[in-house]
Amino acid sequence: MSLYHEAAALLTGPSTHGGSLKSRVFSNKDLKSPPAQVYALALETCKWSAVLKEVVENAELLKHERKLTPILSILLSHDLLLAKGGIALPASHGLRQSIDRHKARLTSEFTKARIRRKCPTIDTLRDLIESDHAGPIQHPRWIRVNTVKSTLDAQLETTFQGWEIVPSITEVMTAGRKRKVICLDGHIPNLLAVPPSAMDFTKTEAYKKGEIILQDKASCFPAYLLDPRPEDGDIIDACSAPGNKTTHLAGILSEREGGFARGGQMMIHAFEKDRNRAKTLQKMIRIAGSDVGTVVHPGEDFLRADPMAEEYARVGGLLLDPSCSGSGIVGRDDVPELWLPESPGSNNRNNKGNAIANSKNGNKKRKRPEGEETSKPPPSIMVDDDGETTVVSSEKDLQQRIEALAAFQLQIILHAFEFPAAKKVTYSTCSVHAGENEEVAVRALRSEVARRRGWRVLKRGEQVRGMREWDVRGELEGSEGDGEVAEGCIRAFRDDGRGTMGFFVVGFVRDGDVDGEKGEDEGPYARDEEGRIVRDGNGIPTLKATGRKAVEIDEDGGEGQRFGSGSDGEGPFVRDAEGKIVRDENGMPTLKSGVVEEDESGDDWSGFDD
Ligand SMILES: C[S@@+](CC[C@H](N)C(=O)[O-])C[C@H]1O[C@@H](n2cnc3c(N)ncnc32)[C@H](O)[C@@H]1O
């Protein structure tokens, strides 16, 4: 079967694979042509289909070539008029000849279609098509600088040399194909956004060397919220493949004194149950340069890891990003709109069911007459973020699938809560359903292990700055009316103009055990006889191992690494009559007016608000 027949079958045949066009193509094991080629042809033809329909109809191609179907006519016309190599068939092939015979007329109609759209060149028409296809709300592409291997400054001087830095992602999202613009993110350090139609970054040296990683902004929330520090001990990433968050953890630690892969003592345990996905994880970790301090557990089920094992005695933080419905992923259910030319005697609808009438200037949709039968929508197929498919033909099916996922997700959290030295946990999904998000968080907080071990939600005021300042928070209803939990939860929605995918993350922390199972399980800080963490006059805990303060205050009182210095020699914080730093109810020090906070990472990095 030719490339064109395969693309035609995918675009017009019944979907047996569900999901996006991409998943339909790449999960189809029967394809003879290279999947990437089929996908590119199908996608590009869809984008151009409104123009190609006009060209084919006005050239009367289907009237002259009765054996040609509407879908084949636009697939072939696409390659004739727009593909660099032309039609990918030998000149003697019947399909190719059926188009070649009309080349002059098709080319002339294509020029007229371009001029009708007031585009002086094919490139301007291409820009127009790209922006139409992207819809009213576009999604930028996010690039994280991998600080294990590079720095933001180094990337700005190399990969992005000559790119214009703009202050808002709106500008990035609406920039044309030709404008090289980037925006430095204001929430996540070392993250930048580029226009959706920017060059293919997977071809750059920086990408091949692992210096930059393509990762959605929201997917960067969990590692940043976990805020791993060398004094936390080891970290577990419970559900790791393909490894975006594992490598992000390594990146954050590599910037910290005594941290990862700079002779640091701590390590990351990366679990991945699926052996094949574990191979991808290992590859990503190696390319990102974080293999030195990461122990991969390929094919290992995190739920079977014994929290009491010696190997995990120092695990202070866990990042949990388990399988979910994937309902927040951008493009997950995208099947691009396809406009087909009218063939003699056809009823002329597009693939979204819109009836259309021929027009010299494009496509007019007609209203469905009252009482006209509408066909029952076919069952949709839910593709989880790790590829599992479920046929969902009713609201009940969806509920059942979400409940099954939620039960598994809860198990993962409760298991993480058992690790003796653990003090912080993040739980995330790329789902938009409260049933997998806030509701799971509430159930975890009400569990026996949470009460026994003192786990509570990480409050908004306690979160790292970028997450504290992110203003999309959890659903109050899903949090069962608990405002503190809802505020602690962080949400992201696709298509809300912030340029992210749909996402959810929440942090859990514990200050100590509740029912006295202390001793071995004390964590990194020194404690008094009653089990309370030993703090100095400013509330800074003392490290058990060294006897030194967990955060050193400079001579001038500034936590130099985290905050800017004041100008009066007393540091940047407001102090009371006894000289103690004044803190709010969350323990956050109060800054003197005029002192600007720097980013937690201690960078000079200055981002812009979205
Ligand atoms: C949402 S994906 C993780 C994405 C990953 N954190 C990232 O950012 O690249 C979930 C992964 O967890 C794995 N997984 C599911 N259950 C698991 C378990 N019990 N133990 C370990 N891995 C598991 C799945 O195979 C899948 O690869």
Three-state SS annotation for 266-301: CCEEEEECCHHHHHHHHHHHHHCCCCCCEEEEECCC
* Ligand 1, atom 13: closest residue by C-alpha: 239
**Is residue 370 classed exposed, middle or buried when 0-12, 13-18 and 19+ CB atoms within 10 A define those classes?**
exposed
Instruction: Indicate which atom in ligand 1 lies nearest the CA of residue 271.
Output: 21
CA–CA separation, 182 and 171 (whole Å): 9
CATH architecture of 141-214: 2-Layer Sandwich (3.30)
CA–CA separation, 477 and 22 (whole Å): 35
The whole-number pLDDT of residue 132 equals: 67
CATH architecture of 231-328+396-510: 3-Layer(aba) Sandwich (3.40)
Contact (Cβ atoms closer than 8 angstroms) between residue 319 and residue 236? yes
Instruction: Indicate which atom in ligand 1 lies nearest the CA of residue 412.
Output: 19
Name the phi and psi angles at 418, rounded to 5: -85, -15
Distance 429 CA to ligand 1 centre (A): 11
Question: What residues have CB less than 8 Å from 457, skipping those under 6 apart?
Answer: 441, 445, 484, 485, 488, 489, 506, 507, 508, 509
Q: Is 323 labelled a binding residue?
A: no
Distance 394 CA to ligand 1 centre (A): 27
CA 287 from chain centre, in angstroms, equals: 20
The whole-number pLDDT of residue 542 equals: 66
Q: Which residues of the chain have pLDDT under 70?
A: 1, 13-20, 131-138, 177, 258-264, 330-336, 345-393, 512-574, 579-610
The whole-number pLDDT of residue 385 equals: 67
Q: Is 272 labelled a binding residue?
A: yes
CA–CA separation, 541 and 523 (whole Å): 12
CA–CA separation, 563 and 601 (whole Å): 10
Q: Go through 115-142 and write b for each residue having 16 or more CB atoms within 10 A of its CB, e for each that does not.
A: eeeebeeeebbbbbbbbebbeeebbbbb
The whole-number pLDDT of residue 263 equals: 53
Count CB neighbours of 492 within 10 A: 23
* Ligand 1, atom 19: closest residue by C-alpha: 301
Q: Is 255 labelled a binding residue?
A: no
The whole-number pLDDT of residue 386 equals: 64
CA–CA separation, 90 and 83 (whole Å): 15
Distance 237 CA to ligand 1 centre (A): 9
Distance 352 CA to ligand 1 centre (A): 34
Q: Is 245 labelled a binding residue?
A: yes
- pTM surpassing 0.80? no
Catalytically active residues, by annotation: 430
Probe target for ligand 1 pocket from 386, 413, 414, with the most ligand atoms within 8 Å of CB? 386
**What proportions of the chain, in percent to the nearest 5, are helix, strand and coil?**
35, 15, 50
Q: Is 244 labelled a binding residue?
A: yes
List the beta strands (DSSP E) in 1-67: none
CA–CA separation, 602 and 590 (whole Å): 18
| Residue 345 DSSP SS3 | coil
| Geometric angle at alpha carbon 422, from 250 and 298, rounded to 5° | 50
CA–CA separation, 578 and 489 (whole Å): 36
The whole-number pLDDT of residue 558 equals: 36
* Ligand 1, atom 11: closest residue by C-alpha: 239
User: From residue 233, how far is each of 225, 376, 455 by CA, in Å?
Assistant: 16, 56, 18
Instruction: Indicate which atom in ligand 1 lies nearest the CA of residue 303.
Output: 19
The whole-number pLDDT of residue 12 equals: 77
Probe target for ligand 1 pocket from 213, 214, 268, 273, with the most ligand atoms within 8 Å of CB? 273
Residues with beta carbon inside 6 Å of ligand 1? 219, 238-245, 271-274, 277, 301-303, 321-323, 385-386
Distance 101 CA to ligand 1 centre (A): 53
Name the residue ranges covered by the structural domains of the chain. 3-134, 141-214, 231-328+396-510, 534-610
Specify the amino acid at residue 566: G
The whole-number pLDDT of residue 577 equals: 75
Instruction: Indicate which atom in ligand 1 lies nearest the CA of residue 242.
Output: 9
Distance 273 CA to ligand 1 centre (A): 7
CA 569 from chain centre, in angstroms, equals: 44
* Ligand 1, atom 2: closest residue by C-alpha: 323
Three-state SS sequence of 88-122: CCCCCCHHHHHHHCCHHHHHHHHHHHHHHCCCCCH
Instruction: Indicate which atom in ligand 1 lies nearest the CA of residue 302.
Output: 20
* Ligand 1, atom 18: closest residue by C-alpha: 301
Distance 412 CA to ligand 1 centre (A): 11
Instruction: Indicate which atom in ligand 1 lies nearest the CA of residue 385.
Output: 1
Q: Is 273 labelled a binding residue?
A: no
The whole-number pLDDT of residue 270 equals: 98
Probe target for ligand 1 pocket from 235, 244, 272, 275, with the most ligand atoms within 8 Å of CB? 272
Q: Is 333 labelled a binding residue?
A: no
CA-based max dimension of the chain:
94
Return the bridge partners of 356, or none: 365
The whole-number pLDDT of residue 175 equals: 78
